Amino acid sequence: MRFTIPQGSQYHSPGTVHVEADASSASYFIALGAIAATEAPVRIEGVGLDSIQGDIRFVDAAQAMGASVSGGPGWLEVRRGAWPLKAVTLDANHIPDAAMTLAVMALYATGTTRIGNIASWRVKETDRIAAMSAELRKLGAAVTEGADFIEVSAPHAWRAASIRTYDDHRIAMCLSLAAFNPLAPNGPPNGVPIRILDPQCVAKTFPDYFEALFSVVQPAADAVPVITIDGPTASGKGTLASTVAARLGWHQLDSGLLYRATALAARRLGVADTDEPGLAALAATLDLRFDGEQVWLGGMDVASELRLEQVGAMASRISALPTVREALNALQLSFRRLPGLVADGRDMGTVIFPRAALKVFLTASPAMRAERRHKQLISKGIPANIADLRADLEARDERDRNRLVAPLKPAQDAQLLDNSGLSIDESVAQVLDWWAERGPFRST
Ligand code: C5P
């Protein structure tokens, strides 16, 4: 119950201490390799076959189900071996945590997998036998549970499911592997979506689990959902987009910033706003990096400079140049990453992401927008005049609407949202409602 450190003790460096990674966390990637790694293996570093952690024995169980595993000190490589996976009957008393992953591997196996001697599951973060049974059944699996065992057979017909996680990190992590259902023997060719509720519960042991998973998964080109929010200057796109992105846990693209960054780079280098080839070359090679609120351009944080009115005005002028727009295309598309993207600008729904799942077009009167911009500037201590602001934004609207390439207009299938009389929360709620209506999880 206690450690006693004698008085006068001194720190003595042992040289190098290697702290091994967590073997139970590795189980999800071992399973992923067994399910999906048909070409290159999944390589796991930080824990290897020499580990003395109990849960490394999960490797034996995964191999019994068909995983092809090689490894050495501090590393493992896992590929698909037998396919479909093979059902096993296993006493999992020695690997209770990692054994939850086996219950999900059973969705990819022929036959019934029985995981026994796991009474401890009932008294973990939640009653894991009950929880796993309920959630696996939602997917269509046949499940039998007992006081200290669970039996799982793969679904004959997979169903889209919204998975409850019971504030249990392992339920969130292991059931995320059900998302590979198109690969399953009876899997739906186009896949059924799996929603993991309260995914932040993974923070208990593996805060960036989903990021790690996404980093080894290449989604089909059109599979990453996009919501576009277009509209005129000062219509509140930015705030709406960043709030919706935060609520969904998605990435955000503020495309105006790319035009602004091009304008700023041009000002710095003395490239004139009429020099189309020069501007396009700059746009194509922007050294731009986003880090939270910071925006790094060529090694300097330019977040506040980008917001200056002169920079916005130049951005508006150069954004009418076709080759400048084209030069920014690839960069804009590269923001489309799992789990999803909210993109705001002028042509997100019409040109850049024409197949976006939800397109929103904001409309607010020029008077209202001028007032908002005025408040915004004043609150930052920047002097401003409403009449000038309104004239300026009307001039920008005019230019954005009438330019030949990517003029500002709602996509045909856009939802129009006049937010003049709406609070930010109301606009956010409306967009999230529209999004929920489009998904398979309407009722949750
Ligand atoms: O939205 P923001 O004011 O930051 O954009 C700066 C300028 O970039 C706008 O005035 C608009 O002319 C241009 N722009 C564009 N297409 C986008 C985003 C911004 O033409 N997708």
**232 within ligand 1 shell (Cβ under 6 A):** no
Q: pLDDT (tens digit, 9 = 90+) per residue, 364-423?
A: 889 999 998 899 889 988 888 999 999 988 988 888 888 888 889 999 999 999 998 899
| CATH 1.10.3720.10 is right for the domain spanning 223-438 | no
CB 161 within 8 A of CB 135: yes
**pLDDT given for residue 221 in this prediction:** 75
Residues forming a β-bridge with 109? 85
Q: How far is the CA of 230 from the centre of ligand 1 (A)?
A: 10
Tokens of 194: 């799996």
Confidence of residue 442 (pLDDT cuts 50, 70, 90): low
Q: Report, as an integer, the average pLDDT of 204-224.
A: 92
Confidence of residue 337 (pLDDT cuts 50, 70, 90): very high
pLDDT of 170 > 50? The answer is: yes
Q: How far is the CA of 82 from the centre of ligand 1 (A)?
A: 53
CB 50 within 8 A of CB 18: no
Nearest CA to ligand 1 atom 20: 319
Q: Report, as an integer, the average pLDDT of 103-121.
A: 98
**316 within ligand 1 shell (Cβ under 6 A):** yes
Q: The domain 23-218: what is its CATH number?
A: 3.65.10.10
Nearest CA to ligand 1 atom 14: 256
Which residues, other chains included, contact 147 with Cβ-Cβ below 8 Å and sequence gap of 6+? 119, 122
Mean pLDDT value across the chain: 94
Q: Report, as an integer, the average pLDDT of 218-224.
A: 85
Q: How far is the CA of 320 from the centre of ligand 1 (A)?
A: 10
Q: How far is the CA of 256 from the centre of ligand 1 (A)?
A: 4
pLDDT of 443 > 70? The answer is: no
First-to-final CA distance of the chain: 46
Q: How far is the CA of 185 from the centre of ligand 1 (A)?
A: 48
Q: pLDDT (tens digit, 9 = 90+) per residue, 232-248?
A: 988 999 999 999 999 99
Nearest CA to ligand 1 atom 7: 316
Q: What angle do CA 281, 241, 191 make, to 5 degrees?
A: 95
pLDDT of 260 > 60? The answer is: yes
Confidence of residue 340 (pLDDT cuts 50, 70, 90): very high
Q: How far is the CA of 260 from the centre of ligand 1 (A)?
A: 8
> CB burial class (10 A; 0-12, 13-18, 19+) of residue 151?
buried
Q: How far is the CA of 417 from the centre of ligand 1 (A)?
A: 19
Q: pLDDT (tens digit, 9 = 90+) per residue, 268-278?
A: 999 999 999 99
**pLDDT given for residue 444 in this prediction:** 44
User: Could you give phi then psi for residue 110, rounded to 5 degrees?
Assistant: -95, 135
**262 within ligand 1 shell (Cβ under 6 A):** no
Confidence of residue 297 (pLDDT cuts 50, 70, 90): very high
Q: Report, as an integer, the average pLDDT of 110-126.
A: 97
**347 within ligand 1 shell (Cβ under 6 A):** yes
Identify which of 264, 319, 348 to mutate to test ligand 1's pocket (most ligand atoms within 8 A of the CB).
319
**397 within ligand 1 shell (Cβ under 6 A):** no
Confidence of residue 174 (pLDDT cuts 50, 70, 90): very high
pLDDT of 65 > 50? The answer is: yes
Q: How many residues does the chain have?
A: 444
Ranges of H-type helices in 37-127: 58-65, 96-105
Least confident of 113-122, 220-229, 250-259: 220-229
**236 within ligand 1 shell (Cβ under 6 A):** no
Instruction: State how far the Cα of 425 lies from the Cα of 230, in Å rounded to an integer.
Output: 18
The domain segmentation of the chain, as residue ranges, is 23-218, 223-438
**319 within ligand 1 shell (Cβ under 6 A):** yes
Q: How far is the CA of 61 from the centre of ligand 1 (A)?
A: 55
